[in-house]
Copies of this chain bind each other. A is one copy, B any other.
Amino acid sequence: MVSQRGEGETTTTPAEAADKERARAIPEAAVARLAVYLRVLSGMAESGVTAVSSEELSQAAGVNAAKLRKDLSYIGSYGTRGVGYDVEVLVSHIERILGLTRNHSVAVVGIGNLGHALANYGGFPGRGFPVTALFDVDADLVGIPVGGIPVNHIDEITAICLEREVSIGVIATPPPAAQSVCDRLVSAGVQCILNFAPVVLQVPDNVEVRKVDLAVEMQILSFHVARRADEAASVSVGNNGLGVDGMVIRP
């Protein structure tokens, strides 16, 4: 593996510099899995487990062992052949790669049912994501503390986000408000947005959006239900097609 840039690596430790070089090359899919490994590993650490093999860890994380090793190889070689991985070491390296050594302050916009749930989502498991601001349009909510943090009016987004250095904005508003809220967050310098509103947000290139869409998840499941019912139907009814349409098949 050849490092293509020789600059900017003198005052940081070699390990950190190497991490940063690698971070660029980690596939999107692998990043998501690393987060899962991290959680599993944290659980193991709490249970007093100090070492783990790729086989054990992969099973606990629900993935293929080879894939796990490849994922870990993206962040460096921190295992010991013939033995496995040191849990603590792995945890700290994954945390560093995922940027969890910084503190990412989070703002939640839209304090409805979901917003409440998010605000109370106790410090986000695996810590590092303090919710530091809540916003809503409803003047009646302003000032009321939710999960220990007082709600601010939505017009204060820019000022407060800048002041509290919010790096992640969570949108939990009704769909019609989402784009406007998003625009305000962006103009407040927020570069990462987690969107729960069922809307496709338009953002500048330098802003990262991830969306969690309950309706879409349900519909994907629905698709699989349908596909299964169809398969069951073609198998169980042979060549007459009875019961194929609109009827739930329970074998």
* A residues in contact (CB < 8 Å) with B: 5, 7-12, 16-17, 20, 23-24, 26, 31-32, 35-36, 38-40, 60-62, 97-102, 104, 106, 112-114, 116-118, 120-121, 124-126, 128-129, 165, 167-168, 175, 189, 191-194, 198, 200-202, 206, 208, 210, 212-230, 233-234, 237-242, 244-246, 248, 250
Q: For A223, give its contact among B97, B167, B228 (CB under 8 Å).
A: B97
Closest partner residue, chain B, to A102 (CB atom): B246
Q: How far is the CA of A18 from the CA of B98 in the complex (A)?
A: 45
> In the complex, which residue of chain B has the Cβ closest to the Cβ of A26?
B223
**CB–CB A216/B36 < 8 A:** yes
Contacting pair B104 A12 (CB below 8 A): no
Which of A129, A167, A201, A221 has the most C-beta atoms of chain B within 10 angstroms of its own C-beta?
A221
Interface contact B216-A248, CB-CB below 8 Å? no
A7, A98, A106 pick with most chain B CB within 10 angstroms:
A98
- Chain B residues with CB under 8 Å of A220's CB are 31-32, 35, 210
- Which residues of the partner chain B approach A222 to less than 8 Å between Cβ atoms? 98-100, 102, 104, 128-129, 168, 192
Residue of B nearest to A94 (CB): B219
Q: Which residues of B contact A233 (CB under 8 A)?
A: 8
A245 to B213, alpha carbons, bound, how many Å? 34
Hey, which chain B residues are within 8 Å of A40, CB to CB? 200
Q: Given the known A-B contacts A198-B39, A200-B62, A222-B98, are A8 and B124 also in contact in the complex, defined by CB atoms under 8 Å?
A: no
Which interface residue of A202, A210, A219 has the most chain B CB atoms within 10 A? Answer: A219
Give chain B residues whose Cβ lies under 8 Å from the Cβ of A8.
Answer: 233-234, 237-241, 244
A39 with B221: CB separation less than 8 A: no
- Residue of B whose beta carbon sits closest to that of A245: B12
Q: State how many angstroms separate the Cβ of A247 from the closest Cβ of chain B.
A: 8
The answer to whether B23 touches A226, judged by C-beta atoms less than 8 angstroms apart, is yes
Contact of A168 among B215, B216, B225 (CB under 8 A): B225
* Contact, CB under 8 Å: B100 / A192: no
> Does the CB pair A223–B124 fall under 8 Å?
no
CA distance A35 to B221 in the complex (A): 11
Can you identify 18 A-B contacts, CB atoms within 8 angstroms?
A8-B233, A10-B241, A11-B241, A12-B244, A32-B220, A35-B213, A35-B216, A36-B200, A98-B226, A102-B222, A102-B248, A113-B121, A124-B215, A129-B215, A167-B248, A192-B224, A194-B218, A210-B217
